[in-house]
Amino acid sequence: MLGFKIAALAFFTALVSASSLIHKSIPIKHDHLHEKVRSRNNAAASGHVTQKGFKTIGYYASWAIYGRNWPPQNIQREALTHVLYAFAGINNKTGEAYLTDEYADIQKQFDGDVPDNKTTNLYGNLKQLYLHKKKNRNLKTLLSIGGWNLRTYFAPALSTPTGRKTFAQTSVQLLKDHGFDGLDIDWEYPNSTSQASDLVDTARLFREELDAYSANLTSHPHFLLTMAVPAGPENFQHFDLPKLNPYVDFLNLMAYDYQGASFSNFSGHNSNFFKSQRNPQGTDFCTQDALEYYIGTGGPYQAGNGAGNWTWSGSGFPAEKIMLGMPLYGRSFANTSGPGTRFSQPMDGSWEAGVWDYKDLPFNGSRVQYDYDVVASWSMGGKGNHSRYMVSYDEPAIALKKAEAISGLGLGGAMWWELSGDLPVNSSRSLIGTVKEHLLRCGGLEQCRNVLDYPYSKYKNLREGMPGQ
């Protein structure tokens, strides 16, 4: 735990005060506190901070093989420490975990696959993830269960001891059969004290099942349990952090979807770090408030005043077990004057109205703008010559500031939704590449061997370790 007070706003404004991109002069407050953060980054960069390394985590969507035409072979495994495969499902009555698209998950034949009708072999996306693991022994894969579309299934399924036990057992069976290194629970979201308690008991059962499986393997590996968690106060206050901590390896903070055309009253920022004092209607939520809750007291939640002064008492979740989530997409608003103003619903997007892959941004002819008070960027115009078309997304300069926050605040690493939205990592504009390069300078990426031995899988080729591939 950090155990120090940090003037968070001063931290970021000091980092960018010399930038040519900033629109106005911002006074730097509490310089001595910023020095502590800067010295920590300097120490990490020089190798004087002892740590296992930062995590770089990307969600891969099972449906990316369809319209997006982005197969799992496109995953740039050397830039990542973890891939989370989205999504498996949960039966809302029994609690049983199941694969939601068996064709994509285990059946699709990719180039190089040789069908064997005499035995049961694993194919599809999950075979390709395993092959990535063979080629990068520090890459781990996790099966993510749930997601937004299945958000209502968790509460009834986990409301009984039998449902929770079934969920844990069948989830771990999916791990055994399909070659994962861990499981990720994505319940969006518990909304009561009783549901928070159900989630804690579920985590306990997952941990027991995972550890029991590990005990049956020769190498006794540690299988991971993670959770996707929200950044909005209405939702994050229902996570019992002290009781979850012993069972969960890390939390993936979904620090995005703060404002969007389909759910907001005003145009605004998708993933800002701070709230705006000048334009509060453009920042409905902020990452600062979420981190203050998760890493600070752990509850009860009290909204920050935006001044940037945090007290992290050390009684919340360990900072190194928080992964800062970042979007590989932007949210758009039509007929708007910019953040904090009225708008019309956009009718277009990369794959759905109002949402654009980062790799499609910015539009030709648009004007990219930055607000370092809140740590956010957006574009105006460039879409069919409509000057009042806004897209809120992270530019590389903003991704770098978030990377500096990860290293400076002692967070565990970065997470992205979802991998198909970025440019190739070797591109100067890749968001993953930008963050990865900073973390390499500040201690490097986690080096921790994955699991290749799955002797109890129902698939012959996985039991044998995919020989010759």
Give the domain ranges of the chain: 52-328+400-463
Q: Are 303 and 283 in contact (CB under 8 A)?
A: no
CA angle 41, 47, 48 (to 5 degrees): 75
First-last CA distance in the chain: 43
**What CA–CA distance (Å, rounded) separates 189 from 176?**
27
Which letter does DSSP use for residue 407 in this model? H
From the list 206, 194, 235, the residue with the least C-alpha distance to 142 is 206
φ/ψ bin of 365: left (φ > 0), alpha (ψ from -120 to 50), beta (otherwise): left
Q: Are 342 and 327 in contact (CB under 8 A)?
A: no
**What CA–CA distance (Å, rounded) separates 285 from 268?**
10
pLDDT for 118: 75
pLDDT for 119: 82
Amino acid identity, residue 47?
G
Fold of domain 52-328+400-463: TIM Barrel (3.20.20)
Which letter does DSSP use for residue 110 in this model? P
pLDDT for 386: 79
The tokens for 197 are 């308690």
The dihedral through the CA atoms of 425, 427, 431, 436 has a sign that is: positive
Q: Are 30 and 13 in contact (CB under 8 A)?
A: no
State how far Cα 83 lies from the chain centre.
10
**What CA–CA distance (Å, rounded) separates 357 from 92?**
32
What one-character-per-residue DSSP string does 263-274 give?
Answer: T-SS---SS-SS
* pLDDT string in tens for the chain (469-residue length): 333 234 444 444 444 442 322 222 222 232 333 443 455 455 545 443 445 899 999 999 999 999 999 999 999 999 999 999 999 999 999 999 999 999 999 999 999 998 888 789 999 999 999 999 999 999 999 999 999 999 999 999 999 999 999 999 999 999 999 999 999 999 999 999 999 999 999 999 999 999 999 999 999 999 999 999 999 999 998 999 999 999 999 999 999 999 999 999 999 999 999 999 999 999 999 999 999 999 975 555 554 444 344 444 445 799 999 999 999 999 999 999 999 999 999 999 999 999 999 999 999 999 999 999 999 999 999 977 679 999 999 999 999 999 999 999 999 999 999 999 999 999 999 999 999 999 999 999 999 999 999 999 999 999 999 999 9
Q: Which of 35, 78, 96, 188 is catalytic?
A: 188
pLDDT for 37: 40
Is 188 catalytic? The answer is yes
pLDDT for 38: 53
Q: Per the omega criterion (within 30 degrees of 0), is the bond before 418 cis?
A: yes
**What CA–CA distance (Å, rounded) separates 304 from 288?**
8
Number of other residues whose CB lies within 10 A of the CB of residue 139: 23
**What CA–CA distance (Å, rounded) separates 141 from 126?**
10
Within 8 A by CB and 6+ apart from 215, the residues are none
From the list 165, 120, 171, the residue with the least C-alpha distance to 145 is 171
**What CA–CA distance (Å, rounded) separates 213 from 224?**
12
Q: Are 287 and 269 in contact (CB under 8 A)?
A: no
Q: Are 164 and 171 in contact (CB under 8 A)?
A: no
